[in-house]
Structure 1
Amino acid sequence: MIFGLGILLVIGLLGLSLATGEYSILSREDGWKMFQTVRIPRTIALVLSGAAMAMSGLVMQMVTRNRFVEPTTTGTTEWAGLGLLVCLVLWPHSSILVRMSVAVIFAFVGTGIFFALLQRVSLRSSLIVPIMGIMLGSVVSAISTFFALKTNALQSLGIWFQGSFTSVYAGQYEVLWFVLVVVVLVFLLANHLTVVGLGQDVATNVGLNYRQMMLAAMALIAVATGVVTVVVGSLPFLGLIVPNLVSLIMGDNLRTNLPWVCLAGIALVTACDLVARTLISPFEIPVAVILGMIGAIVFLVLIIRRAGAGA
Structure 2
Amino acid sequence: MSPGLAVGLVIVVALLVLSLATGEYSILSHDDGWEMFRNVRIPRTIALVLAGAAMSMSGLVMQLITQNRFVEPTTTGTTEWAGLGLLLVMAVVPRPGILMRMSGAVILSFIGTMVFFLLLRRVSLRSSLLVPIIGMMLGAVVSAISTFFALQTDMLQSLGIWFQGSFTTVYRGQYEVLWLVLGVVVAIFYYADRLTAVGLGEDIATNIGVDYRRMVLIGTGLVAIATGVVTVVVGSLPFLGLIVPNLVSMRRGDDLRSNLPWVCLVGIGLVTACDLISRTIISPFEIPVAVVLGLVGAVVFIALIIRHIRRS
Same fold judged by TM-score > 0.5?
Answer: yes
Unaligned runs of 5+ in 1: none
Q: Distance in 1 between matches of 2:126 and 2:67?
A: 10
Partner of 1:85: 87
What is the deviation of 1:90?
A: 0.9
Distance in 1 (alpha carbons) for counterparts of 2:212 and 2:122:
17
| Equivalent in the alignment of 2:151 | 149
Structure-2 separation of matches of 1:248 and 1:218: 24
Alpha-carbon offset, residue 92 of structure 1:
2.6
Query: Which residue in 2 is equivalent to 1:171?
Result: 173
Q: How does 1:1-311 map to 2 (within 5 A)?
A: 1-310=3-312
RMSD of aligned alpha carbons: 0.6
Q: Structure 2 length as normaliser, TM-score?
A: 0.99
SS across alignment from 2:287: coil
* Cα distance, 1:155 vs structure 2: 0.5
| Structure 2 residues not aligned, in runs of 5+ | none
CA–CA distance in structure 2, aligned partners of residues 94 and 281 of structure 1: 34
Residue 204 (structure 1) shift = 1.1
Instruction: Report the CA distance between 1:125 and its aligned residue.
Output: 1.8
Return the TM-score normalized by structure 1.
0.99
Report the Cα distance in structure 1 between the residues aligned to 2:51 and 2:57, rounded to whole angstroms. 10
Shift of 1:63: 1.2
Opposite residue 238 of structure 2, the aligned amino acid is P
* Secondary structure, aligned partner of 2:9: helix
Aligned pair count reads 310
What whole-Å deviation, never above 9, does each CA across 1:186-206 have from its counterpart, x for those lacking one? 000000000011111111111
Shift of 1:151: 0.6
SS at match of 1:234: coil
Q: How far apart are residue 124 of structure 1 and its match?
A: 4.8
Shift of 1:72: 0.1
- Amino acid of the structure 1 residue aligned with 2:133: I
Identity among equivalent pairs (%): 71
Deviations 1:35-67 (A, max 9, x none): 010000000000000000000000100111100
Residue by residue over 1:126-147, the C-alpha shift from the partner in whole angstroms, topping out at 9 and shown as x without a partner, is 1010000000000000000000
For 1:152, what is the secondary structure of its paired residue? Answer: coil
